[in-house]
Structure 1
Amino acid sequence: MAEPYTGDRIILKDLGFYGYHGVFAEEEKLGQRFFIDLELGTDLTAAAATDRLSAGISYADIYDVVKAAFETRRMKLLEAVAQNIVDDLFSEFEAVTWVIIRLRKPEAPIAMVRGEAAIELHRQRSAR
């Protein structure tokens, strides 16, 4: 079996969303910007050989799953938001074997001069 998080991958970076996730009442009421970076492990051999979208996974479909997962469930923690997204990606795309997701919150309500708060999850599809 291949080592986790190696091999072919689809990468989507800086997916921007506006959401109401967070611990504080102001975050729930006012919302803020979030950015997501994704890497999805999947075999891209057939798509590369055939040049057919049907042989791979549509980036637009990935985006739609991420957007729905991000927007439909309000969570307090970035970790929980990211896990919901990972769970939905595994559910929707059988060919995805692992996911690395970074969820960034550039306007986190903490004293930062520059920078952002972020988390990163590394998840493999569970063996069935």
Structure 2
Amino acid sequence: MDKIIMKNLRFYGYHGVLPEEQEDGQNFIIDLEMYLGLHKAGNSDDIKDTVDYGKVYGIIKEITESNKFRLVEKLAEHISREIMSTYKEIDKVSVTVKKPEAPIDGEFDWVGVQIVRSRNG
């Protein structure tokens, strides 16, 4: 299966369980992989035969910056649902949400979740 990959998309949002996460916000990094057939676009060289990742970026930005979720699982689920409902040609999507500034007492690069959703379960 072919895929379109979007890595390290950066947004500022207000997601988290703690009150300060909901009030002060923090940076989030999102990776997206969209599985679909790209053979037609590869032959036609026409944007209408593929998924416009500029529009996908806009969807992710809107969801991440305009909502407040307690869990990054909810953010990832919301992104996956919106992408799959907007683009019927996508068979499967993988969404990774990273929190590089999670309120954890220790050293780390990021914590987060990855979900994979497909049309056939």
Tell whether the structures are fold-level matches, with TM greater than 0.5.
yes
Q: How does 1:19-98 map to 2 (within 5 A)?
A: 19-98=13-92
Q: 1:3 maps to which residue?
A: none
CA displacement 1:56-83 (0-9 Å, x = unmatched): 1111011111112222321000100000
Structure 2 gaps, min length 5: none
* Matching residue's letter, 2:29: F
Task: Note if 1:16 corresponds to 2:43.
Answer: no
CA displacement 1:19-66 (0-9 Å, x = unmatched): 000001111111000000110001101110011111111110111111
Distance 1:26 1:100 in 2: 29
* Secondary structure class of the residue paired with 1:120: strand
Q: TM-score, normalised by structure 2?
A: 0.95
Q: What root-mean-square deviation, in Å, do the aligned CA atoms of Structure 1 and Structure 2 show? A: 1.1
Q: TM-score, normalised by structure 1?
A: 0.90
Percent identical pairs in the alignment equals 35
Distance 2:120 2:63 in 1: 19
Q: 2:117 maps to which residue?
A: 123
Structure 1 gaps, min length 5: 1-6
- Runs of 4+ in structure 1 deviating by more than 4 angstroms, as ranges, are none
